[in-house]
Amino acid sequence: MTKNTADNSNGNPNNKDVARPSIARRGLLYIVSSPSGAGKTTLARRVLAADDNIEMSVSVTTRQPRPGETDGVDYHFVDHATFEGMKERGELLEWARVFDNFYGTPHAPVENAIRQGKDVLFDIDWQGAQQLSGKMPGDVVRVFVLPPSGDVLEGRLKSRAQDPADVVAKRMAAASSEISHWPEYDYVIVNSEIEQSTAAALAILSAERLKRARLLGLSDFVRKLQSAL
Q: Report the candidate in 39, 4, 6 with the shortest Cα–Cα distance to residue 20.
A: 6
Cβ-based nearer residue to ligand LQESDW3C, 78 or 204 = 78
| Binding of residue 130 to ligand ATP (CB under 6 A) | no
CA dist 33 and 17 (Å) reads 36
Among 76, 87, 156, 170, binds ligand ATP (CB under 6 A): 156
Rounded to the nearest whole angstrom, what is the least distance from the CB of residue 18 to ligand LQESDW3C in the complex? 42
* Length of the chain counted residue by residue: 229
Q: In angstroms, rounded to a whole number, what is the distance separating the alpha carbons of residues 176 and 35? A: 8
Query: Is 38 annotated for ligand binding?
Result: yes
159 contacts which partner out of ligand ATP, ligand LQESDW3C, none, CB within 5 to 8 A by kind?
Answer: ligand ATP
Contact status, residue 4 vs residue 52, Cβ threshold 8 Å: no
Residues 98 and 86: their CA atoms lie apart, in Å, by 17
Residues of span 160-199 touching ligand LQESDW3C by CB under 6 A? none
Question: Smallest distance from the beta carbon of 103 to ligand LQESDW3C, in angstroms?
Answer: 3
Among 167, 207, 175, 204, CA closest to 32: 204
Q: How many other C-beta atoms are found inside a 10 Å radius of the C-beta of residue 2?
A: 16
Residues 16-35 that bind ligand LQESDW3C (CB under 6 A): 33
**Contact status: 146 vs ligand LQESDW3C (CB under 6 A):** no
Q: Which residues bind ligand LQESDW3C (CB under 6 A)?
A: 33, 36, 59, 63, 94, 96, 98-99, 103-105, 123-125, 127-128
